[in-house]
Structure 1
Amino acid sequence: MTAKTLDGQALADRIKAELAVRVEQLARPGVLSEQGRPPGLGTVLVGDDGPSARYVAGKHQDCADVGMASVHRGMPMGTTQDELEAVIAEMNADDRVDAFILQYPVPAGLDFEAAMLVMSPAKDADGLHPVNLGKLVMGEEAPLPCTPNGILALLAEHGVELAGRHLVIVGRGLTIGRPLALLAALKREGANAAVTVVHTGVQDLGSFTRTADVIVAAAGAPGVITADMVRPGSAVVAAGVTMAGRKVVSDVADEVAEVAGWLSPRIGGVGPMTRAMLLVNTVEAAARSVGIAGPTSDG
């Protein structure tokens, strides 16, 4: 058996093409402003971390691809908590910015959670503000966490059913594991799964993963999911990666492709979906700011 590919890049490209149409509609005079303006994404990056800088640059390129505006605030190492929170307050007040992110991780000495509390929940592009996570717990409408939402969209696109199936999430982090467990368990289309969350501190991970219809590996532990831990024919999503020099290393060992029915690639799987959902959240924030619900119509 050779696993079929959960192609995140192809789906992300289609989402971006659909968003470009919606962005053009929102940019018309009299929609977001009297003169007209496109939806805008803001980014705040502290320090000189190379992977973070490249990731932020990619987000601005994504904006350009769909006709969105983007605003970036780069801050040096040595930035204080007060200085960081002041910039976040400026983003809250900037009419060009419909939603924005504080790139994680922040340098040692800065409190990411405290900075997030300064952000307006309505401008939360990542869907990770405590208010929005609380709404997710309650099943209320709010910006959804980008990677978990992207993973569910990727599975749905390829016909991988979650309703009533067993989803095992390996990893309990704030950006993927915990919010994915909440989102996937909701009684809604593309979800309604029976969810188990485990982590690398659990003895005999395979005793859990071998019972799964779908595995999401999000531990940031290279090769933690091996072929003997996967039930033949199940779907495996490689959401966790680490860097070994300049090489991207997946949480899922290469030989899993010979056992799984579906597998997301190390590059071109979850990553493009995360970035696409960031654009979706920003465009939806722009629409909500002027009382437009759902996709913008041509009328």
Structure 2
Amino acid sequence: MVQILDGKAVAKALREQLTTELAASGLKPTLAVVFDPADDGSRLYVGMKQKAAAKVGIETRDIAVSADATTESVEKIVAKLNQDASVSGILIQAPLPKEVDDAAIFAKVAPEKDVDGLGVTNQGRLFANEAGNYPVAATPKGVMTLLNYYDIDPRGKRAVVVGRSQLFGRPMAALLLNADATVTVAHRYTKEETLNNLLAEADIIVVGVGIPGFIKASQIKEGAVVIDVGMNLVDGKACGDVEAAAADKAGWLTPVPGGVGPMTIATLLESTMEAALEQAK
């Protein structure tokens, strides 16, 4: 019988720990969130982050950019936040309006305030497996926290990451590789035969391509650990990138919702607290 990786419960425990640590530190971190208010998903996520942050003692400052924003205009916003000593962390909630180069904006965030780890400096540290404490993209870091909580050690295991985005796939692969897994990256354009062969041998599968039911139960090895990062709406109901029937074959599985989503937010708050502690030294 499949065992559930309960991200909701683990995130709750992490938030409680953060609340205690922040209270003891005497710090009052502030997270600035730059987002496009016209994007429904961004508005939803920003609202969820506001509520979660308030509960642990982190203030949020939401900065909505206009529909006609340009890369240059958003870079100026980020530059001001970089210089603002009252701001502990900066989150760029992608996607931004169409005329804005998201990657260019990620790169402009000061490394010490880059709490989602998407700037070139922090991504370089991750891919170099540099020692020390630096921010890592919240969703992949949340996945690793979830695996650790359930004592699932990637060392020596075959892992397949399906997705190659800067926000998820690339940092996810790096974290698993740094944890001594043997890692292959696939994506939506990987040939079906190739993907089938990869998944048939994978001990750990992490998928985030934004396509409902992209991964089928028939493709999964019996007993595999399956992490579903997808969040889609089909007929008004939330579903992931892995079909529901995978529960009959996987050994471990994240639910959607209630799996990776809560971990992403809790991990972002953890990175914000860690940034505030580093800046206070």
Tell me the TM-score normalised to structure 2 length.
Answer: 0.95
Paired residue for 1:192? 180
Query: Deviations along 1:11-60, whole A, 9 cap, x unmatched?
Result: 10000000001111232xxxxxxxxx501111011241111111011111
Instruction: Determine which of 195, 210, 214 is the counterpart of 1:220.
Output: 210
Consecutive unaligned residues in structure 1, runs of 5 or more: 28-36, 292-299
Counterpart in 2 of 1:10? 9
Partner of 1:132: 122
Superposed, 1:267-282 pairs within 5 Å as: 267-282=257-272
Q: Does 1:284 align with 2:274?
A: yes
Moved over 4 A (4+): none
Quote the Cα distance in structure 2 between the aligned partners of 1:220 and 1:57.
21
Question: Which structure carries more helix by proportion?
Answer: 2
Cα distance in 2 between the residues matched to 1:120 and 1:237 = 31
Distance (Å, rounded) in 1 between the aligned partners of 2:225 and 2:83: 43
Quote the residue 1:30 is aligned against. Answer: none
- Contact 2:29–2:58 under 8 Å retained in 1: yes
Distance 2:240 2:72 in 1: 37
For 1:171, which of 163, 172, 176 is the aligned residue? 163
1:57 aligns with 2:56: no
SS of the residue aligned with 1:64? helix
CA distance in 2, matches of 1:38, 1:181: 33
Q: Percent identity?
A: 35
The 5 A counterparts of 1:137-152 are 137-140=127-130, 141=132, 142-152=134-144
1:193-251 CA-to-partner distances (Å, cap 9, x unmatched) read 11111112222222110101111111222111111111111110001223346432311
**Secondary structure of 2:96's partner?**
coil
Q: Distance in 2 between matches of 1:243 and 1:78?
A: 28
Q: How does 1:20-169 map to 2 (within 5 A)?
A: 20-27=19-26, 37-140=27-130, 141=132, 142-169=134-161
Aligned to 1:211: 201
Cα distance in structure 1, aligned partners of 2:105 and 2:174: 24
Quick one: distance in 1 between partners of 2:67 and 2:53?
A: 26
Question: Match for residue 262 of structure 1?
Answer: 252
Q: Is the 8 A contact 1:26 1:39 kept in 2?
A: no
Aligned to 1:235: 225
- 1:234 & 1:245 partners in 2: Cα distance? 29
The Cα RMSD (Å) is 1.3
Residue of structure 2 equivalent to 1:201:
189
